[in-house]
Amino acid sequence: MWALPKQLRSRGIIGMNRRNIRYIGRYNDRRLYPLVDDKLKTKLLAERHGITTPALIGTVTTQFGVKHIREMLDGHGGFVIKPAKGSGGKGILVIERVEEGRYIKPSGTALSLDDLERHASNILSGLYSLGGSPDVAVIEALINFDPYLSAYTYEGVPDIRVIVFRGYPVMAMMRLSTAASDGKANLHQGAVGVGLDIASGRALRGVQFDRTREDHPDTGHELASLAIPDWRTLLVLAAGCYEMTGLGYLGTDMVLDRDRGPMLLELNARPGLAIQMANGEGLRARLDLIERQPDGASVEARVAFAQQHFARRGELQPAGEPAPLAGVAASA
Amino acid sequence: MSRKPFYLIVGLLMALGIGLSVHRHVQFEVPWTPGEQRQVWEVEAVVDFTALGDPVKVDLALPTHQRGYRILTENTASPGYGLSFLQDERGRRAQWSTRDAAGSQQLYYSVRLLVTDNDRQQDVPLPPLRDSTWESPYDTAAAQVIERAWARSADPYTFARELIRDFTEERQGENARLLLTQFERTPLLVRLLNQAGVRAREVSGLLLEDGRRRQSLTSWIQVFQDEQTWDLFHPVSGEQGRPDNLLLWETGGRAVLEVLGGTNSRVSFSMITHNQPASAAVRNELADDTLLNFSIHSLPLEEQAIFQTILLIPIGALVVVLLRVLVGVKTSGTFMPVLIALAFIQTTLPTGLIGFLLVVSVGLVIRNYLSYLNLLLVARVSAVIITVIAIISIFSVLSYRVGLNAGLTITFFPMIILAWTIERMSILWEEEGPKEVLIQGSGSLLTAVLAYLAMNNPWIRHITFNFLGVQLILMALILLLGNYTGYRLLELRRFKPVTED
């Protein structure tokens, strides 16, 4: 039931207090927080730095503008409405497709235009933002996620969280939404976290609700065969967010688009610690190693360094035959 | 990045806080625990005299802080008289004055004294050595008495003892008898002591005995060994030492009572004693306006009551910090539990808990309906505030009708905080489900109850209210906790699976 502090320390597990003081407090300049706390700002900044992000359909900034949502959405299939300053996935509404003026969520629930307008209005009045301050609703095109991954997820878009420390990608996991998480990729809501090998992008280990899992709870697909295509590009993209924001301890949320490859979804200046559970390994040793590295390495060099030093073998047993590597060309 | 300045600040705060608290304990005898009983004397002096119809001036010596006794409060009753307190190095005096008064007059002075175990001898100015000339035949008598006592003594104390003994009944020699026919005993003894080069003066004291009325002051001889040390001698028995129940009233060598414009003046004393909790005794203490005595007790009583609560808030904050940083309890709103705990202090715990659960659960149901109305946030929260007020009013009236007066205390809940709690919980319910609401709700309640237990503890209330230095210590503790990088208690459970493989 309870672990001893000694056991956790020997595995290099980082607690909330240490993360806050030792890493976030020391490496993340509070001045830079607005860059990541406001998703709209992040998006525009990413575009300037040549980092791909989902296409922006439009923004709603006034209650008056809420009435024009329909015109804005005309001609778009799936889309996502989210608060620019939301946190923890709050207030993100995913519409998969539009049918006869009805907006269908991934779960199949149909919403009316009124529901959409109410949601946007709630976002503007600050319902989902930190401290209840007035906010802006951002509408993005839905990601056409890589069909290779669809067997691993239930509704929703699986995303990949990479912790970037001083520009080095130190740990990664994939978050697979489940029925329990209502299509959202948040671990505390019941999404499955799959630790990924930094060297290859292959699955190391899976957890749901902090307990180990070998397969996806809804699709029943085993997790061992999971390997992220285009892994190196994704790492380079994630590592580049250090130069883009200046934040030393950063959580980057990436998605894989069928056509455009890895894309940056959002950034987090206070990334959670569940990634340690998904990887079955503490962050401490890796962060200590990175702290000893000198400043000024290029993005490419940093990714290479991480891939060399953080390589690991998976703990999951492939079911029967070797993992299908067909779609995993670019992992090495 | 050096943490030295941080630890320096924490150390300074800690040292300052402890220092201030100890200073207050030692200097003002504020006890560490509230239960301690302290003996308090109430002494009343009545000045009687017959006024002659002229301007009247009455001068009465007053006691000061002294070994064994500390003045808490003093009062006077003297309608029609102007009053001022005078203080110089020889003591304190009260001066009443009036333009015209006739007939029997009575002036009252009462003082409350705390019995302390402070046995520091107070500093009194050295009396001057007065040279006196004696008329014949007293000069020879005096010289012989002194010579006799001198021969049998070694120092001022033994000399005084021998001298007084020579004037006691059974050993009275002829010389002593002769001198006593002409002079009063006590001034005579002082005069003889002075003549022999021993510094001494006459002082007046009151022997405290519970329930005594119409007492008068007794004379004592204060004999100085050197500049710092002195002792009292009884002028009749020659006994050395100060009785524990002797309150020195006048030590400056002046008259106890002087009345101008009146006759037949006398002062008489009555006294009672009782025990009372030390904290209450301290609360009534006179405030000396020095920086070190910077104390809430110098404020009017009403403001003191407010501060009693305000000074408890850091304790609540400390509980929140402990639970969040060391345990990892989730609460809805960081310091909401402290405010709820403050309300619990007014309502008592069971009533408070029932009231809180009632208001929040009914509020959640109504808030659930409000969310269908699609309102703007501020308007919706305002509507929830009004709802909360309505719920509280209804519960108050209902419980009053049923005869539960305890229900009325529900009005002490911070309504706006409750409204925000309901709003947050409701959103939490929609987004994360009832489980998270239960976790955060019970986390908040647990924190509130623990904060309440800490803040309602009599000892903690006593300490925070009477020792402002404790606030600095709390500050230092909270700063230290803010520097804690170890695991939270609940993380030991959360990360347990990692250690299992």
A27 at interface of B, judged by CB pairs closer than 8 A: no
Query: Over 50: is that where the pLDDT of B16 sits?
Result: yes
Burial class (CB in 10 A: 0-12, 13-18, 19+), A83: buried
Q: What amino acid is encoded at A226 in this protein?
A: L
Residue B167 CA: distances (Å) to CA of A69, A76, A315, B133, B172: 114, 121, 108, 20, 5
For residues A195 and A224, the answer to whether their CB atoms sit within 8 Å is no
Per-residue model confidence (pLDDT) at position B448: 93
Across A263-286, average pLDDT: 89
CATH assignment of the domain containing A115: 3.30.1490
How far is it, in rounded angstroms, from Cα A11 to Cα B98? Answer: 88
For residues B401 and B394, the answer to whether their CB atoms sit within 8 Å is no
With CB atoms and an 8 Å threshold, state whether B498 touches A17. no
Residue A45 CA: distances (Å) to CA of A54, A55, A123, A255: 13, 14, 22, 18
Query: Do A166 and A289 belong to one domain?
Result: yes
Per-residue model confidence (pLDDT) at position A131: 63
Instruction: Give the residue among B122, B147, B2, B21 at the shortest CA–CA distance from B67.
Output: B122
E strand or H helix at A34, and its extent?
A: helix A33-37
With CB atoms and an 8 Å threshold, state whether A15 touches B1. no
With CB atoms and an 8 Å threshold, state whether A17 touches B376. no
Q: Taking every pair of C-alpha atoms in chain B, what is the biggest distance, in angstroms?
A: 115
Query: Do A91 and A224 belong to one domain?
Result: no
Lowest mean pLDDT among B260-264, B302-306, B459-463: B302-306
* B330, B437, B483, B498: best to mutate for the A interface, most A CBs within 10 A: B498
Q: What is the distance in angstroms between the Cα of B379 and the nearest Cα belonging to chain A? A: 10
Across A158-173, average pLDDT: 92
User: For residue range B129-164, what is the model confidence (pLDDT) as tens digits?
Assistant: 777 777 778 888 888 888 888 888 888 888 888 888
CA atoms within 13 A on the CB side of B428: 19
How far is it, in rounded angstroms, from Cα A210 to Cα A280? Answer: 10
Of A5, A21, A276, the CB nearest to B498: A276
How far is it, in rounded angstroms, from Cα B450 to Cα B468? Answer: 23
Query: Which residue's structure tokens are 């929140």?
Result: B320
Establish whether the linkage from the previous residue to B137 is cis, with ω within 30° of 0: yes
The percentage of residues in chain B with a pLDDT greater than 90, rounded to a whole number, is: 14
Query: Do A205 and A182 belong to one domain?
Result: yes
E strand or H helix at B385, and its extent?
A: helix B377-402
Question: How many Cβ atoms from other residues are within 10 Å of residue A298's Cβ?
Answer: 11
Query: Which residue's structure tokens are 């978050």?
Result: A175
A residues 118..157 contacting B (CB < 8 A): 118, 121-122, 125-127, 132
Confidence category of residue B295, pLDDT binned at 50, 70, 90: low
Which of A119, A141, A163 is at the close of a domain? A141
How far is it, in rounded angstroms, from Cα B22 to Cα B25? Answer: 5
Query: Over 50: is that where the pLDDT of A332 sits?
Result: no
CA atoms within 13 A on the CB side of B365: 6
For residues A53 and A264, the answer to whether their CB atoms sit within 8 Å is yes
Query: Do A233 and A302 belong to one domain?
Result: yes
Query: Over 70: is that where the pLDDT of B279 sits?
Result: no
CATH assignment of the domain containing A306: 3.30.470.20
DSSP letters of B190-201? HHHHHHTT--EE
Which of A88, A117, A141 is at the close of a domain? A141
Of A11, A22, A125, the CB nearest to B485: A22
Q: Where are the beta strands (DSSP E) in B208-346?
A: 218-224, 230-233, 246-250, 257-260, 262-277
With CB atoms and an 8 Å threshold, state whether A8 touches B487. yes
Query: Do A135 and A152 belong to one domain?
Result: no
Which residues from chain B sit within 8 angstroms of residue A188, using beta carbons? 432
With CB atoms and an 8 Å threshold, state whether B501 touches A16. no
* A1, A6, A16: best to mutate for the B interface, most B CBs within 10 A: A16
Residue B424 CA: distances (Å) to CA of B134, B153, B178: 96, 88, 97
Lowest mean pLDDT among B170-184, B218-232, B320-334: B170-184
Query: Over 70: is that where the pLDDT of B350 sits?
Result: yes
CA B294 to chain centre: 12
First-to-final CA distance of chain B? 37
For residues A239 and A303, the answer to whether their CB atoms sit within 8 Å is yes
Which residues from chain A sit within 8 angstroms of residue B483, using beta carbons? 21
Query: Taking CA atoms, what residue in A is nearest to B428?
Result: A90
Per-residue model confidence (pLDDT) at position A218: 78
Q: Domain for residue A230, yes or no?
A: yes
Mean pLDDT of chain B: 84
E strand or H helix at B309, and its extent?
A: helix B301-310
Per-residue model confidence (pLDDT) at position A170: 94
Per-residue model confidence (pLDDT) at position A139: 92
Q: Domain for residue A324, yes or no?
A: no
Query: Do A121 and A175 belong to one domain?
Result: no
Of A90, A118, A126, the CB nearest to B431: A90
How far is it, in rounded angstroms, from Cα A109 to Cα B240? Answer: 101
With a CB cutoff of 8 Å and minimum separation 6, the contacts of B414 are: B339, B340, B342, B343
Question: How many Cβ atoms from other residues are within 10 Å of residue A218's Cβ?
Answer: 16
Q: What is the ipTM score, two decimals?
A: 0.77
Length of chain A: 332
Q: Domain for residue A219, yes or no?
A: yes
Q: Domain for residue A270, yes or no?
A: yes
Query: Do A200 and A260 belong to one domain?
Result: yes
Which 3 state secondary structure label does DSSP give A258?
coil
How far is it, in rounded angstroms, from Cα B159 to Cα B193? Answer: 8
Confidence category of residue B316, pLDDT binned at 50, 70, 90: very high
Query: Do A79 and A170 belong to one domain?
Result: no
Query: Do A173 and A231 belong to one domain?
Result: yes
Per-residue model confidence (pLDDT) at position B478: 94
How far is it, in rounded angstroms, from Cα B314 to Cα B104? Answer: 58
Which residues from chain B sit within 8 angstroms of residue A2, using beta carbons? 492-493, 496
Per-residue model confidence (pLDDT) at position A286: 92
For residues B29 and B67, the answer to whether their CB atoms sit within 8 Å is no
For residues B315 and B454, the answer to whether their CB atoms sit within 8 Å is yes
B325 at interface of A, judged by CB pairs closer than 8 A: yes
Per-residue model confidence (pLDDT) at position B301: 62
With CB atoms and an 8 Å threshold, state whether A15 touches B485. yes
Q: Domain for residue A44, yes or no?
A: no
How far is it, in rounded angstroms, from Cα A284 to Cα A100? Answer: 53
With a CB cutoff of 8 Å and minimum separation 6, the contacts of A102 are: A110, A111, A112
Of B374, B427, B492, the CB nearest to A5: B492
Query: Over 90: is that where the pLDDT of A133 sits?
Result: no
Domain extent for A301? 10-35+146-317
* A4, A10, A11, A17: best to mutate for the B interface, most B CBs within 10 A: A17
Q: Domain for residue A76, yes or no?
A: yes
User: For residue range B34-58, what is the model confidence (pLDDT) as tens digits?
Assistant: 766 778 888 889 899 998 888 899 9
Burial class (CB in 10 A: 0-12, 13-18, 19+), B406: middle
Lowest mean pLDDT among A121-125, A138-142, B368-372, B444-448: B368-372
User: For residue range A296-319, what is the model confidence (pLDDT) as tens digits?
Assistant: 888 889 999 998 888 887 666 655
For residues B308 and B468, the answer to whether their CB atoms sit within 8 Å is no
Residue B439 CA: distances (Å) to CA of A119, B51, B150, B444: 26, 80, 89, 9
Residue B499 has phi, psi (to 5 degrees) of: -85, -5
The percentage of residues in chain B with a pLDDT greater than 70, rounded to a whole number, is: 92
Length of chain B: 501
Q: Which residues of B354-364 are buried (b: 16+ CB within 10 A; e: fewer)?
A: bbbebbbebbb
With a CB cutoff of 8 Å and minimum separation 6, the contacts of A255 are: A54, A143, A145, A157, A158, A159, A160, A262, A263, A265
Which of A90, A121, A141 is at the close of a domain? A141
Q: Domain for residue A69, yes or no?
A: yes
Residue A147 CA: distances (Å) to CA of A234, A256, A261: 17, 10, 12
Query: Do A230 and A299 belong to one domain?
Result: yes
Which 3 state secondary structure label does DSSP give B161?
helix
B373 at interface of A, judged by CB pairs closer than 8 A: no
Token reading at A177: 């939404």
Which residues from chain A sit within 8 angstroms of residue B486, using beta carbons? 5, 15, 17-18
A312 at interface of B, judged by CB pairs closer than 8 A: no
A211 at interface of B, judged by CB pairs closer than 8 A: yes
Of A15, A212, A315, the CB nearest to B491: A15
B334 at interface of A, judged by CB pairs closer than 8 A: no
With CB atoms and an 8 Å threshold, state whether B496 touches A126. no
Query: Do A151 and A228 belong to one domain?
Result: yes
Q: Domain for residue A241, yes or no?
A: yes
Of A3, A18, A276, the CB nearest to B492: A3
- Provide the β-strand partners of residue B96: B58, B83
Which residues from chain A sit within 8 angstroms of residue B497, using beta carbons? 207, 210-212, 277
Q: What amino acid is encoded at B67 in this protein?
A: R
Q: Per the structure, how many domains does chain A have?
A: 2
Token reading at A112: 């009316």
For residues B129 and B111, the answer to whether their CB atoms sit within 8 Å is no
Query: Do A106 and A153 belong to one domain?
Result: no
How far is it, in rounded angstroms, from Cα B76 to Cα B417? Answer: 49
Question: How many Cβ atoms from other residues are within 10 Å of residue B433's Cβ?
Answer: 14
Of B328, B427, B431, the CB nearest to A16: B328
Query: Taking CA atoms, what residue in B is nearest to A282?
Result: B498
Lowest mean pLDDT among A290-304, B17-31, B459-473: B17-31
With CB atoms and an 8 Å threshold, state whether A276 touches B495. yes
Query: Which residue's structure tokens are 């809420």?
Result: A66
* B487, B489, B493: best to mutate for the A interface, most A CBs within 10 A: B487
